[in-house]
Amino acid sequence: MSEPESTTVGKRGPELGMAGVLAAIALVVIVDSLRVGIGWADDGPRAGYFPFYIGGLLLAASLAIVVGELRHWRQPDPPFAERAQLRSVVAVLLPMVAYVALIWGLGIYLASALLIGYFMRRHGQYRWPATVAVSVGVPLLLFAVFEKWFLVPLPKGPIEHLIGL
Amino acid sequence: MEEITNLMHGFGVALTLPNLGFMLIGLTLGVLIGVLPGLGGANGVAILLPLTFSMNPTSAIIMLSCIYWGALFGGAITSILFNIPGEPWSVATTFDGYPMAQQGKAAQALTAAFTSSFVGALFAVLLITFLAPILAKFALKFGPPEFFAVQLLTFCSFVGTSKEPPAKTIASMMLGFALAAVGMDSVTGNLRMTFGVPELLKGFDFLIAVIGLFGIGEILLTMEEGLAFKGKSAKINFKVVWQTWGELARHWKTFLRSTAIGCWMGITPGGATPASFMSYGMARRMSDDPQSFGKGQIQGVIAPETAAHAAGTSALLPMLTLGIPGSPTAAVLLGGLLIWGLQPGPMLFVEQKDFVWGLIASMYLGNLVGLIVVLTTVPWWAAILRIPFSVIAPVIIVICAIGAYTVHSAMFDVVMMLVFGVVGYVFKKLRYPLAPMVLALVLGDMAEASFRQSMLASQGKLSIFWSNPLVGGITALALVILLWPAVQRARGWARSRGAAPVGDPS
């Protein structure tokens, strides 16, 4: 974020960010434990009794990580990952997010076919016949295994309803 | 010898035709899972667990534990032929296994790896056969304070033995506990940390966490490295196997040492991965010719494989007897027990004899059959790895999504899987260990219940954990293991101060 010419992303930012997220979670745990009560009721410890200490330890651990980072502040920042590497991670992560969103609308079979097709075309440079064969074949196989063999229903969308499955 | 009778009875349970069939299916799937990046023992078992809900528990655990053995075998194939560890515990196998393959000795390396795995597992199963009933009988006397002390020991040994920074181990563990606390509190009925979101009522399922952390997280990591598989091919024939076995017999000391390390690391929840590294290091240090390690020394294959398999197998000992898993995969199997309606712990040995001894017998059979299966089918598995990652990656993502969905038939879980996947990637990059988080998520409710019952008995005084020699001993051991690295660092620091004041590199 700081130096635009650098090809790597430093570790310090992600490190502090993660510790911050953990500290925030710890605070949520502590606050919610206080809400349900951390002391004793007539019948023994209340619901927040145990989580309160968990939250406290999590907060202490994340603060220790922050302090550890700050102590090495003057030393050079070790790399987290190269920018190109992060780009290829995002290139997988975004289709995954889109895939999960598509399952909602289209059902899992059609969404899976689209995901496999996208990967094969985009990352594998396959020709259309191979792409179509794999991306249609795998969901059909999954359909046979899950719906027919193990009788586990998976999410379906309008297309499946249209052909009456 | 009551154990022998029980074991024979167990063989009777395991040696039925359907159970042998499940064993074969499990082993084949396991090797496949071990070979593929992004699918491992823990998340492979987690994905398949929902399919076993309707099965008979004995058949189900035989199949799932065989997936685990298969994954342990499979990890070695990719390490040796492709220099890509399919599983974290086979990283150490690449050090000498891949050089051997480069020198045209892939068949010897694979035979050595599979045989070592088998030997390690065999010793660990023998240990389970004779130690588990004793431990279970002993554990029958345990009350809540003892159980909490054992759980404390489990978590303290994570902090004390892991290579990662202690603060990160604790943070990862506490995150697991915090996630386990979400949902309805089983004692008071209060809702904790749900914030009015109905999906959070049932809490976070560890199966979803395992699939996300290990499956999706691993895919993201693999993508970052931009994998192109370039490997050696191998065919194993009987002559090579025979010759290699002859050579292996000369390294019996390495086998014994590695088995001991593996069993110890498996029972205390060090797990298979540190066991394999520790064993490799020991073999190199004890060797007459340490220089040959890393250049295709067969002992460098034997040591990590024996230890990893011994650790992976003996991780089931504390799971069966105390209900405390020694590894993430054992944690998933423990979750399976709960789902099938079995209460893990000492009572299992009294109430579910068929189940326990059937499982133990299937460990002997599964590892023997597994050895034969991998020795005969190696070329097939190597061929699977030649399928480009651009095809395998989306298929694995689809399988993970289906696995996450089938746990509760909920789309919310699929979304959570993605979130856990990103967390897993960032954790791996920042060297947070994942295993403590998974174990805390699995054991969270149990640990909380035993802690609260102990506090109830003592009216809130922590002194209950020192109230008798047994619980006091376990608690003291836990604290020693927890503080051991700190003590050692303090000693090293004191020594460096006392001796020549050379600039400390750290």
Residue-wise pLDDT for B358-385, tens only, equals 888 888 998 999 998 888 888 788 777 7
pLDDT at A49 over 50: yes
Give the nearest partner residue to A88 out of B185, B193, B224, using CB atoms: B224
CA nearest B94: which of B115, B104, B109, B111?
A: B109
In this structure, the answer to whether residues A12 and A69 fall within a common structural domain is yes
Model ipTM value:
0.91
Report CB contact under 8 Å: B390, A126: yes
Place of tokens 């619980």: B471
Task: Give me the mean pLDDT over the A102-113 stretch.
Answer: 90
Residue B401 tokens, joined: 């999504």
Within 155-214 of B, beta carbons closer than 8 Å to A belong to 165, 167-168, 170-171, 174-175, 177-178, 181, 185, 187-188, 190-193
- The per-residue pLDDT for B506 is 40
In a domain, A3, yes or no: no
Task: Give me the mean pLDDT over the B134-138 stretch.
Answer: 84
B66-76 pLDDT, tens digit each: 988 888 888 88
* Residue A118 to chain B, least CA–CA distance (Å): 9
Q: Number of folded domains in chain A?
A: 2
Is the distance from CB of B474 to CB of B146 less than 8 angstroms? yes
Contacts with B190 from chain A: Cβ below 8 Å? 36, 46-47
Interface probe with B: pick from A8, A38, A52, A96, most Cβ of B within 10 Å:
A96
Is the distance from CB of B115 to CB of B245 less than 8 angstroms? yes
Which domain-ending residue is among A77, A94, A123? A77
Q: Does B387 touch chain A (CB under 8 A)?
A: no
Report CB contact under 8 Å: A18, B192: no
In this structure, the answer to whether residues A63 and A30 fall within a common structural domain is yes
**Which amino acid does the sequence have at B346?**
P
Residue B474 tokens, joined: 């376990």
Going B209 to B214 to B220 to B221, the CA torsion angle's sign is: positive
In a domain, A140, yes or no: yes
Contacts with B181 from chain A: Cβ below 8 Å? 29, 50-51, 54
Question: How many residues in chain A?
Answer: 165
What is the C-alpha separation between B45 and B67, in angstroms, rounded?
7
What is the C-alpha separation between B251 and B120, in angstroms, rounded?
13
Task: Give me the mean pLDDT over the A122-132 stretch.
Answer: 86
* Residue A28 to chain B, least CA–CA distance (Å): 8
Contacts with A32 from chain B: Cβ below 8 Å? 192-193
What is the C-alpha separation between B266 and B260, in angstroms, rounded?
10
Give the nearest partner residue to A146 out of B402, B421, B427, using CB atoms: B402
What is the C-alpha separation between B487 and B492, in angstroms, rounded?
9
Is the distance from CB of B313 to CB of B128 less than 8 angstroms? yes
pLDDT at A1 over 70: no
pLDDT range class, residue A2, cuts 50, 70, 90: very low
Contacts with B455 from chain A: Cβ below 8 Å? 44-45, 49
What is the C-alpha separation between B289 and B284, in angstroms, rounded?
8
B91-126 pLDDT, tens digit each: 788 888 888 888 888 888 888 999 999 999 999 999
- The per-residue pLDDT for B191 is 83
pLDDT at A65 over 60: yes
**Which amino acid does the sequence have at A143?**
F
- The per-residue pLDDT for A5 is 52
In this structure, the answer to whether residues A46 and A106 fall within a common structural domain is no
Which domain-ending residue is among A61, A77, A93? A77
Buried b (16+ CB within 10 A) or exposed e, B246-282: eebeebeebbebbbbbbbbbbbbbbbbbbbbbbbbeb
pLDDT range class, residue B233, cuts 50, 70, 90: low
Rounded percentage of chain B residues whose pLDDT exceeds 90: 10
Is the distance from CB of B306 to CB of B19 less than 8 angstroms? no
Contacts with B411 from chain A: Cβ below 8 Å? 103-104, 155
In this structure, the answer to whether residues A64 and A93 fall within a common structural domain is no
For every residue of B246-313, which 3-state class applies, written as one string? HHHHCCHHHHHHHHHHHHHHHHCCCCHHHHHHHHHHHHHHHCCCHHHCCCCCCHHHHHHHHHHHHHHH
Residue B45 tokens, joined: 């078992």
The reported pTM is 0.83
Give the nearest partner residue to A62 out of B171, B181, B390, using CB atoms: B171
Interface probe with A: pick from B192, B408, B461, most Cβ of A within 10 Å:
B192
* Structure letter (DSSP) for residue A5: T
Is the distance from CB of B73 to CB of B114 less than 8 angstroms? yes
**Domain ranges across chain B:** 2-143+207-409
Report CB contact under 8 Å: A22, B175: yes
Task: Kindly calculate the radius of gyration of chain A based on its CA atoms and give it in whole angstroms.
Answer: 24
Question: How many residues in chain B?
Answer: 506
Task: Give me the mean pLDDT over the A84-105 stretch.
Answer: 90
Which domain-ending residue is among A48, A77, A106? A77
Residue B185 tokens, joined: 């509190």
Task: Give me the mean pLDDT over the B277-292 stretch.
Answer: 83
In a domain, A1, yes or no: no
In this structure, the answer to whether residues A121 and A70 fall within a common structural domain is no
Is the distance from CB of B301 to CB of B315 less than 8 angstroms? no
In this structure, the answer to whether residues A127 and A152 fall within a common structural domain is yes
**Which range marks the domain in which residue A27 is found?**
8-77
Beta bridge partners of A156: A107
Contacts with A8 from chain B: Cβ below 8 Å? none
Task: Give me the mean pLDDT over the A41-52 stretch.
Answer: 82
